[in-house]
Amino acid sequence: MDDFKVTAIISAYNEEDIIAQTVGDLINQGIFVYFLDNHSTDATLTRIKPFLETGLLQIEKFPSGEDENFDFYPWEAILRRKEELARELDSDWFIHHDADEFRESPWEHLSLLEGIQKVDRWGYNAIGFEIFEFQPTHDHFMPDKDIRETFEYYDHVQWFNRLRNNCWKKTAVPVELASSGGHQVEFQDIRIFPVRFILRHYPIRSQAHGECKVFKDRFPRYLKSEREKNWHIQYDQVSQGHCFIRDASALTRFDADKVRLDLFLNHRELESLRETLQKSHTEISDLQQTNQAISTELTAAQSEIANLQQNNQAILTELTAAQFEISNLLQTSQALLTEMTAASSQAQSEAHLLELRLASEQSKSEHLLQALEDARCEVRALRNSWSWRITALFRKGYECLGLHRRNAKS
């Protein structure tokens, strides 16, 4: 144990009523503490300075500086500084720790340091925590009394605070805290121990503390850029006049033995299996619904198929009759085609004969036309011959007639 070192890095602003208990409990469990003070204006530093002689390694003002006005809550910058310290400090393991929480191992007989060392020996390099958020059920908290005895009732953790895997073994690679708002450490080859450790959270300790913390130390000091990341929303439902004292009957009493038993019975791997099983059940249910829908559709489809089969049978009968008619038509068409082919062949033969006769007649006609033309020529020649002869006869007749007349006169 002397060679195994675990360091809790705590940041705080105005936590004077609880910080000594938080730091003292860690040191009593063998854990070293590195403290970042966000320029507290109360007695926070006075309460923790005595621990510098035991397990408190250093008190660092953050952001650095003395005279500037640091009236804001730079949570992302604080987380980045914790990432740097995890690289710089000499320690085997680190815890990103808040000022108002107490951490325990799940083994009753082992301290937080011993529990972390056991996890280290088993080959894991990160630890998650089950959060129990305790509420004030009366307004009589005294800082000098153990708060774990003062408030015994816790409430269910809000969804955005459930994930707290922020204890890790020092690695050769940088770790990431800021991206999750400090809820989960991230680095390469992370192996988270299946059984969660215990984290008791005491954010509000009295009515006066709640009013001061929420309306003075938190709301006015949140950075707009961080609120836009959906950070610092745990008190969004709280307004002026809110009563921070809770009725114990609406809460759950903390039973350490039962809590530890539940941690081992409901560890991370079992939860993962349950989630897988639940997912499988959901998928099976979805498949059953889908199968039911498919079955309904299949029944409807089968009914449609039966109707189609009946329709197809009628259509098949009609098609058979039509095929028979088509077959008869084809046979008739084949016979007609045969007849038409024969008739066409005969017609082609007769046409050929007619063409031959026509050619012969045309030849005869041409001869006749030529003979006719020759005859016409002969007739024209005869006409011309006879016309000359008649003309000559008429001329000779006229001459004889003239001679006769002259003779008669004389």
Task: Please tell me which residue, 149 or 67, carries the higher pLDDT value.
Answer: 149
Asked if residue 186 and residue 111 are part of one domain, the reply reads yes
User: What local confidence, expressed as pLDDT, does residue 69 receive?
Assistant: 67
| Domain edge (last residue) among 254, 274, 304 | 254
Best CA proximity match to 6, nearest among 191, 167, 176: 167
Q: What is the mean pLDDT of residues 388-404?
A: 79
CATH number, position 179: 3.90.550
Q: Is residue 270 part of a domain?
A: no
Please check whether residue 47 is in contact with residue 128, taking contact to mean a CB–CB distance below 8 angstroms: no
Asked if residue 85 and residue 230 are part of one domain, the reply reads yes
Asked if residue 187 and residue 293 are part of one domain, the reply reads no
Mean pLDDT (the chain, rounded): 90
Domain that holds residue 155: 6-254
Asked if residue 334 and residue 244 are part of one domain, the reply reads no
Asked if residue 299 and residue 237 are part of one domain, the reply reads no
Q: What is the pLDDT of residues 36-88, one digit of tens each?
A: 999 999 999 999 999 998 999 999 999 987 656 678 899 999 999 999 999 99
**Is residue 333's pLDDT more than 80?**
no
Number of structural domains in the chain: 2
List C-alpha distances in Å: 45 to 22, 40, 67. Answer: 13, 8, 17
Q: Is residue 369 part of a domain?
A: yes
Q: What is the mean pLDDT of residues 231-256?
A: 95
Instruction: Tell me the percentage of the chain whose pLDDT exceeds 70.
Output: 97
**Is residue 149's pLDDT more than 90?**
yes
User: What local confidence, expressed as pLDDT, does residue 224 receive?
Assistant: 93
159: confidence class by pLDDT, cuts 50, 70, 90: low
How many C-beta neighbours within 10 Å does residue 71 have?
9
Q: What is the pLDDT of residues 173-231, one digit of tens each?
A: 999 999 999 999 999 999 999 999 999 999 999 999 999 999 999 999 999 999 999 99
What are residue 134's DSSP bridge partners? 154
244: confidence class by pLDDT, cuts 50, 70, 90: very high
Task: Please tell me which residue, 239 or 334, carries the higher pLDDT value.
Answer: 239
List C-alpha distances in Å: 383 to 380, 386, 393, 394, 395. Answer: 5, 5, 15, 16, 18
Asked if residue 309 and residue 171 are part of one domain, the reply reads no
Q: Are strands 252-253 and 153-155 parallel, antiparallel or unpaired?
A: antiparallel
Separation of alpha carbons 313 and 292, rounded Å:
31
Q: Is residue 356 part of a domain?
A: yes
Q: What is the mean pLDDT of residues 376-381?
A: 82
How many C-beta neighbours within 10 Å does residue 25 have?
19
User: What local confidence, expressed as pLDDT, does residue 2 receive?
Assistant: 64
**Is residue 160's pLDDT more than 70?**
no
